[in-house]
Structures are given as C-alpha cells and as structure tokens.
A = this chain, B = another copy of it.
Amino acid sequence: MRPSKRAFDELRPVSLERNYSRHAEGSCLVRFGDTHVLCTASLEERVPGWLKNSGKGWVTAEYGMLPRATGDRMRREAASGKQSGRTQEIQRLVGRSLRAVVDLQALGERQITVDCDVIQADGGTRTAAITGGYVALADCLAWMGQRAMVDPAKVLKDHVAAISCGIYKGEPVLDLDYPEDSAAETDANFVMTGAGGIVEIQGTAEGTPFSQDEFLKLLDLARKGINDLVGMQRQAIEAAQ
C-alpha cells in the first residue's frame, strides 16, 4: 500500500498551467501532486562563446529551489555563494533532455534558457522540471514562430517527458512522492521522447543492489507514465492554439 493510496502504476494528479509568467516568452507551472515547479523559457539573441559563428543555437536549463520548498528550510544557494552538486546535476540533466528533441541548427544562433524553480517540493522535482520545461520551451518556440523567427515544427523534433520509478517496500511503483522516495530501495529516473525513444536513464540502488529484472519492470512503468505525460503535454499545447 502506497502512503498516498495510489495504485502501483498511478501518477499523481498532474497539471500543466501555461502562460503563468507575464514576462517570459514561454512558461508553465507544472504540478505533480504537491510538487510544483515554475518553468520559464527565455530567449536571448546570443550564444555561448564556443558556438559563435556556428549557425547553431543552444538550449540550456537552470534549476533552483525556494528555501522553504521543502519540509525543513534549506540554505539559500545565493546566500551560500554556490550551487550544490545536486543542483548542478539536475540542471545538466534537464538541459540535456530538452536538447535531445531540439534541432539546434534550425533554432539558429540564439539561446533559450529554461529556468525551473521549485516552488514546493514533494519528490520528483527533476522529472517535473523536464516535463514542464518542455511545455515552456514549446511555447517559446511558438512565440518565435508567430514572429517568423523560426519554424517551430522544425526546431522541436518530438516531445520529451520524464518520470521517476522505484522499488518501494519490495514493489515497483510509478512516480515516487517524497515519503516513498526517502524510503525506496531503488530509485530511477527515465527521460523518453514521444516516439518512445530513451533519452536518459539514471538508476541508483539506495540500499541493496537491484537486478536486471527489477530494472526492466521500472522501465515498463516509466514507459506507461511517460506516455500519459506526453498526452497531457499535447493537450496543454493544443489548448493554447
């Protein structure tokens, strides 16, 4: 029995609230249950130094957490003067995941920065960030399309979404919330495209090592969950048109 009483293969209630920010070219407040992440996509007419005169653009991500997004207040990273290893790991993952479905050539020499700021955390912030960040990115590209800067359909090759799975009390379950996450023996994050291709897999044994068989069960759960998430992304984006 899961603490939230969900079925083993049941996502938390997910919502994708577009145009949350007045200023950003694209934005989405994504909610996976009590995990709320504000994703904004910001367009800049410049690229990192190593891409100058390459004709290619760049998509990058940054991640942050409000100090009291969590049960205990965490020290503000701006005050401590550096981003934690965890923060850097997550923002690298989000950036890689989004770039996996972007044609940087078709984007042209511009940078889109997707900021993912956790307003409230209850496990799964990085997978929510990828899933919602995709919507913000899509909206930013639509905004550019309306201004004839790019052809959004060429830049964005597919959907990308992410979900965590884990082995909780011996059972493979989908979309861990914080109480499950902190007790799980194994915790894995999956990033997949709309076409079902795998972009990133990260599986970690917190306690006992896991077997190939267990891992494949998590992968199956993830596939199902990501399928649902991609459907919600589609709905949210179509609603926008």
Contact = CB atoms under 8 A, between A and B. Distances in A.
Contact of A23 (B23, B68, B82, B88): B68
A48 interface: no
From DSSP, what is the main secondary structure of chain A's interface residues? mixed
A201 interface: yes
Sorting the interface of chain A by its residue count into under 10, 10 to 19, 20 to 34 or 35 or more gives 35 or more
A180 interface: no
A96 B73 CA distance: 21
A227 interface: no
Contact of A81 (B70, B82, B89): B82
Interface string A109-153: 000010101011010000000000000000000000000000000
A203 B198 contact: yes
Contacts of A212: 198, 219
A24 B67 CA distance: 10
Interface in A198-229: 198-205, 208-212, 215, 219
Nearest to A77: B78
A109 to B, nearest CB: 17
A120 B21 contact: yes
Interface in A166-225: 188, 192-193, 195, 197-205, 208-212, 215, 219
Contacts of A235: none
A239 interface: no
Contacts of A73: 24, 42, 44, 113, 115
Given A82-B82, A197-B205, A208-B197, A68 B89 contact: no
B68 A40 contact: yes
Contacts of A84: 88
Contacts of A219: 212
A42 B68 contact: yes
A83 interface: yes
A15 interface: no
A45 B210 CA distance: 32
A57 interface: no
A56 B177 CA distance: 27
A115 B68 contact: yes
A69 interface: yes
